[in-house]
Amino acid sequence: MAELIPFAACILIAFGIGSNDTSNSLGICIGAGIIKFKKAVLLFGFFVLIGILLQGQKVMKTVGKDLVEANPSMLGISLSISALFIIVSNWKKLPISTHQVIIGGLTGSGVASGIDVNVVSLLKIVFSWIISPLTAFFFAFIIYQTMEKTLSRLSLFNIERILRALLLISGILIAYNTGANELATVLGPVIYSGMISKMPSFFLGAFFVFLGAILLSSRVIETVGKGITGLDPYSGFAAQLGAGSCVLLFTFLGMPISTTYCIIGGISGVGMVKGMKTVRIDLIKKMALNWVLAPSIAFLSCFILIRLLRYWV
């Protein structure tokens, strides 16, 4: 019976990914009026499945095997607390990193249970968290400036047609990365603990990501697509391609990084080119605070809960 708890938690987290990360993939397209919400969700769900099938292996290994050797009871607590944090944050319309919450929870549970945590792997992951939004920021900054020197010479009609197509392509890239990186982070621990085989978990996880996208993603899309800085297809493409390229790079390295914070870094990079007055610094600060608090609270919550359970038992 206890082994069902990690499965239920994974389902909730996959649902949370769908409700949160559709905004990362196609929130800009929706905010810029390029694609309708329902079509965006269908595209997102399909390419999430493609991503986990084709390229989820390295990130799953990093989280499920290299970081800590998890057992079912430990996974039940850490994944349940992670799921709670993710769902609450999404309901509050504040983007949160699924990776950070899960890694924080797994690490806290491992330390409290006396299981060896691979400090080198943990430091690599944390370092990736720090530099990935900055990488996305500079990618988007450079892409936007390059576009101003090239595409801006075309007629306005041609620019808009080209960018609408490219923006959808960059959104699809992020949807692919969501499966290859984000969903892989969720499934890695349960797969490497031997609780479920890969193929059933891939399809089940992708289905609940899709379900979360349909039911709740519109709330976070409002924040990411329109809340940080004003976006049009021109600036939206630069932000999205910068973020998508960054996540793909780290996925090849097997590092579980946040698509959420990369897209925010990309949007901020575009805003920097357009002028600091166009960027809502107050929202960036709130998200930065959440970046620190989310893994810390997940770590402490899992650590304290497992210590209390071990004491009572």
- Give the model confidence (pLDDT) of 186-197 as tens digits: 999 999 888 888
Helices (H), 56-194: 57-61, 72-91, 98-113, 119-150, 156-177, 184-192
SS3 of 117, please? strand
Q: Residue 299: which of 117, 138, 72 has the closest Cα?
A: 117
Q: Give the highest mean pLDDT range of 16-25, 79-88, 224-233, 279-288.
A: 79-88
At residue 140, the pLDDT reads 92
At residue 245, the pLDDT reads 94
At residue 276, the pLDDT reads 58
At residue 142, the pLDDT reads 93
Band of residue 228 on the pLDDT scale cut at 50, 70, 90: very low
Q: Mean of the pLDDT values across residues 158-164?
A: 81
Band of residue 41 on the pLDDT scale cut at 50, 70, 90: confident
Distance CA 26, CA 44 (A): 8
Q: Give the highest mean pLDDT range of 40-44, 51-55, 150-154, 162-166.
A: 51-55
At residue 247, the pLDDT reads 94
CA 233 to chain centre: 22
In sequence order, what are the beta bridge partners of 117? Answer: 68
Please check the confidence at residue 220 and state whether its pLDDT lies above 90: no
Q: 102 with 78: CB under 8 angstroms?
A: yes
The residue ranking higher by pLDDT, 194 or 89, is 194
Q: 290 with 271: CB under 8 angstroms?
A: no
Report residue 223 as tokens.
């924040």
Q: 80 with 9: CB under 8 angstroms?
A: yes
Report residue 187 as tokens.
């499934």
What confidence tens digit (pLDDT) does each residue in 234-278 have?
777 888 899 999 999 999 999 999 877 888 888 888 877 766 555
Q: Mean of the pLDDT values across residues 152-175?
A: 83
Cα Rg of the chain (Å, integer): 19
Please, what is the average pLDDT of the chain? Answer: 83
Q: Residue 172: which of 265, 30, 43 has the closest Cα?
A: 43
Distance CA 301, CA 245 (A): 34
Residue percentage of the chain with pLDDT more than 70: 85
Report residue 281 as tokens.
């610094």
Q: 2 with 73: CB under 8 angstroms?
A: yes
Band of residue 155 on the pLDDT scale cut at 50, 70, 90: confident
Percent of the chain as helix, strand, coil, to the nearest 5: 85, 0, 15
At residue 282, the pLDDT reads 67
Distance CA 135, CA 157 (A): 31
